[in-house]
Structure 1
Amino acid sequence: MNIRVVAGDTPKSSRQINVVLRNPEPVSLSEAEPQINGKTVPAQGPFADIMKELDQMVGLENVKELVYEIYALLQIGQFRTEAGLAASQQVYHMVFKGNPGTGKTTVARIIAKLFHAMGLLQKGHLVEVERADLVGEYIGHTALKTRELIKKAMGGILFIDEAYSLARGGEKDFGKEAIDTIVKAMEDYKNQFVLILAGYSEEMDFFLATNPGLPSRFPIMIDFPDYAIDQLVQIAEGMVKERDYTLIPASLMKLRQLLAAEKMNDTVAFSNARFVRNLMEKSVRYQAVRLLGQYANSSPGRQELMTIKPEDMRVDKKSF
């Protein structure tokens, strides 16, 4: 939970930015002239490092475009200030909508780093919470817990996962107290922290509709759709490569079959990259058991130690 971001006041007449992620192929950044979506960014410095980190993520082209727009706005704002011109104040509270494993938390961390690097957040850390962290057991307890977490997020981002759960209990539920406390903090500490609400798309739409004042406070709303199978395979290959493992062609075929079956059987809440990570970690354990049985009286070779075979790839529902 360590990252960076910004906040501000949103006029009720401000226009919301709605971004739909289509998860196309990632953009490559060269060492000499890094780019994002065809636009050149500084070759050195914190922003270049942030762009390289974002570029390593599969897909998310519209998020990359949005990050570049924010960078451009902040940079031009600095130029305007130096020229004695008024620099417009922007609000960066956000809503991330999508299934688990689509990159919401990772993107929040990267955006936080950007805002810190551009001087908009004093600390640039990420405080990730959920309903249980905010809602207390008796009247007044919720407001106290929520204020403490907001205080902890000052200078950074408060990231509330499954934010819609705060509105599930109705008017008498303590979740409403948490919402009211958060809304008040957005007014009292306008430019001292950024709030990002995240959760399933339909549930988040319902949550925003429960409080007429909420939608206008979040000028940036981003939809994170499920990854395509090709992208999930790319994610899996990147995960195993980092650990010095490889997926042979037969393993890649098995992976595609497992992904297709999982997406078909769990269309509502497919966990995307999270499913892939769990599957790869499980495969590494199965590979270790297989090798230990095969080489009881000797040591496996380097290639054997690296290779994940189809029989190592199994879906154990209890582990997912």
Structure 2
Amino acid sequence: MRKQKLRNLAALLVVALVLGCWVGVAGAFVPGAGEAINQLKASGLYSNTDVNQTLVDLSNTSNGTVTSVTYIGAEQTRTDNTFSVVSQTYDAAMDRITSFCFELYNQYDPGGTDIGLSGILNLDNPILTVHVYTYGVQKDQLMYAFVSGIVDCLGNPPIRSSSGSSWVNNYSPAAMSSKVITSFKIGEKLITTTSGTPITMDVVPYVKDNRTFTPVRYLAYALGVTEEGVLWNEATQTVTIIKDDTTIKLTIGSTVLIKNKETIIMDVAPELVDPGRTMLPARWVSEALGATVTWDEVTQQVVIKQGT
């Protein structure tokens, strides 16, 4: 059955290339996927409860830059990313993106999840934005797998073996289940995370003295800490965060962070804002819990990654 699907995909590719364009869906063998994607296109929305979408701009691949804009769910939750990739032609980049989607389709299809893409390959008048759609029970995880793998797929050919390829091994459902990517955006109350539904905060991240301050409580939740694992002591103005075998303590106005028995001196002290939220640059708590933090100046987003 899988071989027949791949033959069908190959036939679609041949027809598309002969016509000088790429149309429709690569995948769409999960019942309802093609119709759901077409309905999303017709609605004028970027995503809905059934379909997610990422727009990948390949117009600057020759300069080694790719950008993506991802929309998740009925709220059309948006995440912007800018990637540095190996310099290559649009044609080469599109070929790699297509191959990567096929690899992901083969991994996620058994779980009732689909991936599709559409764009134009007419090099006389190219449309350089590729639309990638995910549908089905693991559509969120599959979309994050695709976005997470853009740099890899545009920089490294898959290393194939009898068990699959490096793309499969790095972005399979099992591999992605151990990774959590969280995004805070300046001035917005919504946290997007691959670990589950978006989290709505009652305060917004802000910039002060060139540092991005995020609410510690909601940051902890996004990093997998339970509500019971975040404790506030009014008398001592201390926040305690507990996750597995790690305990972190922060005190308002103090640059000392205690991780278990280790003392860490921060370069900024936590501060309180209405309605009583402790704010601190994200990297101190994130790194103490084993995550890594990056800042995207263009999109004004803090991106936190857990897992390898």
Pick the structure with more strand per residue: 2
Give the TM-score taking structure 2 as reference length. 0.27
Question: Which of the pair has the greater relative contact order for Cα pairs under 8 Å at 6+ separation?
Answer: 1
